[in-house]
Amino acid sequence: MGGAVIVEFIGTPGAGKTALMPVVGAHFNRLGFQALPVLEAARPFASRTPAGKFVRVSTSGRLRRSLLWQLFYLSSFAGRQRFRRQHRTLIRSVLAFQQQRPITQADRRHVLRWFIHLTGTYEFLKAYSRPREVLVFDEGFVHRVVQLFASESEDPDPARVAAYLDLVPQPDLVVFPRAASATCERRVFERGLWDRFRVKEREAASRFIANAHRVVTFAVGHIRSKGWTVVEVDNDDREISASMAALQNSLAALDRKAYLG
């Protein structure tokens, strides 16, 4: 992967992944890396492609930004094909299981759309990353367990979760904001439900969050058993500043070899 460090978050919806992401970026920047969330990396990485270099020197302003974003999208689409060739068993497993789930066709399309989108984004960014860069995925392959294995209408299967995680690319570091299921549910309802849940009963969203919490618990236990580097931070019912400080301290305590290999 060209020396780039891959950091992924995992957490129950409402656990605080987005709020804690800046702490990770700041930590790696202090160490002399350039840390970028996925969306912020899109245009700079697109500018490294042959077409992107032409766009960079021949355009400016909004036109440049628009063309680089389109180039990122097209390059990510091509990246899906490369990822599929390299991870055939993973793709087949995901597609086969999703067809068996007791969820609506709309939910199934939603789940598969974002999983396939991730494969292309990941493959493109990996291909054009450079040493001493850090890519931060708030919803990478590890966090995909929430959509792939949790719903309001099925009991999560730990064996399925483990089998999936055994096939995904291993990140260098996983950050796990931990919060009680009830806390996560309260936060989700306070900030507003996702569009696809607004047409469902409130109880459906509650069941989804509870099952997502179970899936996240299974997933974190499994990747720890595999020896992956996991940093856990308590982000339950307390001030976010306290959680940010705790995460910063945990990251500082890590041996650099833990994520540099």
Q: Please give the pLDDT value at position 1.
A: 41
pTM of the predicted model as reported, rounded to 2 decimal places: 0.93
Name the stretches of the chain with pLDDT < 70: 1-3, 198-199, 255-261
What sign has the CA pseudo-torsion 48, 52, 56, 57? positive
CA distances from 203 to 151, 186, 198 (A): 12, 13, 11
Q: Which of 53, 55, 22, 23 is nearest to 40 (CA)?
A: 22
Q: Please give the pLDDT value at position 261.
A: 52
User: 7 has which bridge partners?
Assistant: 136, 173
Q: Please give the pLDDT value at position 254.
A: 86
- Taking the chain, what is the end-to-end CA distance rounded to the nearest angstrom? 12
CB 177 within 8 A of CB 240: no
Q: Please give the pLDDT value at position 168.
A: 98
CATH architecture for residues 5-260: 3-Layer(aba) Sandwich (3.40)
